[in-house]
Chain A
Amino acid sequence: MSNTMNFLKRIFLVDILKGLAVTFRYTFKSVYTEQYPKEKPKLAERYKGAPRLNNDPETGETLCIACDLCAQICPEDLIVVGSQRDPESRKKVLTHYTFDTSRCLFCGLCQEVCPTNAIELTQDFELATYSRSSMLWDRERLEKGWDRIEFGKNYHK
């Protein structure tokens, strides 16, 4: 009996018709994909994207205390922190900060070790540029967002 059934199933291409039924059902289902440049994806809170150097929202001063921990933990050694001791208050003051995004692994170790949450990896992910040199971010770019400076765009905030 089952042999006959199997034979009939083979003759009438049941296996193939089943497959066709699956694809036919999907033809009229709603699509899954996003229309990327038009629709921006909603990234998770924790997404490790473009770096940012945070300022204190009240005073507008940088949160970075130039402790150099991020530069030390970075596997690629791509962070360079420049500091100077303030002769009066004897505190370390940040002079410059560069972040080489061309070599970044986006592992997030820098933001983990940062004691003041100054360096942070944000949800921005559109990091493509036209030149290698523009992948080296200086302190201004890190604080203001790079594409605002590069192209005058302001669609992130």
Chain B
Amino acid sequence: MIENLIIYFLIPFIKIGAIVLILSGAIAYLTLLERKLIAHIQVRLGPMRVGWHGLLQPIADGLKFVLKEDIVPSKADALIFTLAPMISLIPAFVVFSVVPFGPPGMFEGLLRGILSRFLESASVERIVSNPIASGGFVTDINIAVLFVLSVSSVGILGVILGGWASNSKYPLLGALRSSAQMVSYEVAMGFAIISVLLYAGSLSLVEIVQQQQAGGWWYFFIQPVAFFLLLVCGMAETNRLPFDLPEAETELVGGFHTEYSGFRFSLFFLAEYANMITVSALAVTLFWGGWLPPFPNVPWLGFLGIIPPVAWFLIKVFLILYLFIWVRGTLPRFRFDQLMNYGWKVFLPIALGHVILYAAILAI
């Protein structure tokens, strides 16, 4: 009884709490990272005032958001207006419940050390041997990929509702754009992932990483095109330049969040950056071998194992985030119809062809 409580209740709660806290901090500092990086790309320094080289800037920004006046436009649909940022933010966090940060059995030693003080050894072993309790993830479900795709598309609803409930023309246009954009890129993204699934033969993210370990190759080396597709569609899904049409500030002022301010705006903001991290984490898990070091089975590269698996995961996520920011600092923005053209006429055919090709190869 008590073991089950610990396995299915206490440990997941602690993990969820840790993820929410760490993720919030990561998002806050991701904004700083972005500002700093873009600033250096643009031969300037970025935030410098709050703390050493602006290190406390995210905290100051967060405080500012919380303390700002909470404005709901008088003609807005107040209920939906309030609800929309939350609908946008919560799925962004929920997705992380299935993303593996580390290998199964990662917390074995730690758990054994703590639990053996309170419980008898038999039940300790029962807890420790449970993969969900000791793994470097909140849960491992066998439809994890589908779960990620479906939950993250709920977040789009928040954007659409927010733009609609503002009862203003610019947000409305932004919401229309985002609904079209996100729906169409979701399709290509799904197909890009399918080719990985064909190869791995599993929908569980943990399983996919383990397959890459067994194969000795990251899927990136096998399917670079699919990785590229996932990355591009991920940029479109998370409204990053060159696909940031829903909030194209030079066209639509602020896009769907034009009427939002203060804390509600910060929720949208958090959601966007959380989505960025989600897409990066997903790309890392599917293509860059999650927590694995490069070429896990090559013996003379074994020294790379001294870096803990979680650190590998974080390093890779950081690299992809860096790429996102770097691209943002370089490229102009697509026009709406061009974006749709690319989505349906370029990326979708490539993704489809890719899936068919790999299916054929695997069948042979």
A95 to B37, CA, bound (A): 58
Is B330 in contact with A31, judged by CB distance below 8 angstroms? Answer: no
* A20 contacts chain B at the CB level, 8 A cutoff: yes
* A35 contacts chain B at the CB level, 8 A cutoff: yes
Contacts of A14-29 to chain B: CB distance below 8 A: 16, 19-20, 22-24, 26-29
Q: Given A26-B41, A31-B40, are A19 and B48 neighbors across the interface (CB < 8 Å)?
A: no
Contacts of B305-364 to chain A: CB distance below 8 A: 326-327, 329-331
Is B330 in contact with A29, judged by CB distance below 8 angstroms? Answer: no
Q: Which of A16, A20, A24, A31 contacts B43 (CB 8 A)?
A: A31
Is A20 in contact with B40, judged by CB distance below 8 angstroms? Answer: no
Query: Chain B: which residue is nearest A18 at the CB level?
Result: B330
* A130 contacts chain B at the CB level, 8 A cutoff: no
* A33 contacts chain B at the CB level, 8 A cutoff: yes
Q: Which of A19, A28, A33 contacts B330 (CB 8 A)?
A: A19
Is B45 in contact with A35, judged by CB distance below 8 angstroms? Answer: yes
B254 vs chain A, min Cβ distance (A): 25
Q: Which of B44, B48, B327, B330 contacts A22 (CB 8 A)?
A: B330
Q: Given A33-B43, A35-B48, are A27 and B37 neighbors across the interface (CB < 8 Å)?
A: yes
Is B326 in contact with A31, judged by CB distance below 8 angstroms? Answer: no
B226 vs chain A, min Cβ distance (A): 16
1/0 per position for A21-62, CB-CB distance to B under 8 A? 011101111111101000000000000000000000000000
* B42 contacts chain A at the CB level, 8 A cutoff: yes
Is B45 in contact with A20, judged by CB distance below 8 angstroms? Answer: no
A40 vs chain B, min Cβ distance (A): 16
Query: Chain A: which residue is nearest B322 at the CB level?
Result: A27
1/0 per position for B21-44, CB-CB distance to A under 8 A? 000000000000000010111111
Q: How many A-B residue pairs have CB under 8 A?
A: 37
Is B44 in contact with A20, judged by CB distance below 8 angstroms? Answer: no
B232 vs chain A, min Cβ distance (A): 10
Contacts of B32-64 to chain A: CB distance below 8 A: 37, 39-45, 48
Q: Name B's interface SS.
A: loop
A27 to B327, CA, bound (A): 12
1/0 per position for A42-84, CB-CB distance to B under 8 A? 0000000000000000000000000000000000000000000
Query: Chain B: which residue is nearest A33 at the CB level?
Result: B44
Q: Which of B42, B44, B331 contacts A16 (CB 8 A)?
A: B331
Contacts of B327 in A (CB 8 A): 20
Contacts of A28 in B (CB 8 A): 40
Most chain B beta-carbon contacts within 10 A, residue among A20, A22, A30, A35: A20
Contacts of A31 in B (CB 8 A): 39-40, 43-45
A33 to B43, CA, bound (A): 7
Is B45 in contact with A23, judged by CB distance below 8 angstroms? Answer: no
Query: Chain B: which residue is nearest A17 at the CB level?
Result: B330
Contacts of A26 in B (CB 8 A): 40-43
A32 to B37, CA, bound (A): 15
B-side residues, CB < 8 A to A, are 37, 39-45, 48, 326-327, 329-331
A-side residues, CB < 8 A to B, are 16, 19-20, 22-24, 26-33, 35
Extra A-B contacts (8), CB below 8 Å, given A20-B326, A32-B43: A19-B331, A23-B329, A24-B41, A26-B42, A26-B43, A27-B37, A27-B40, A30-B43
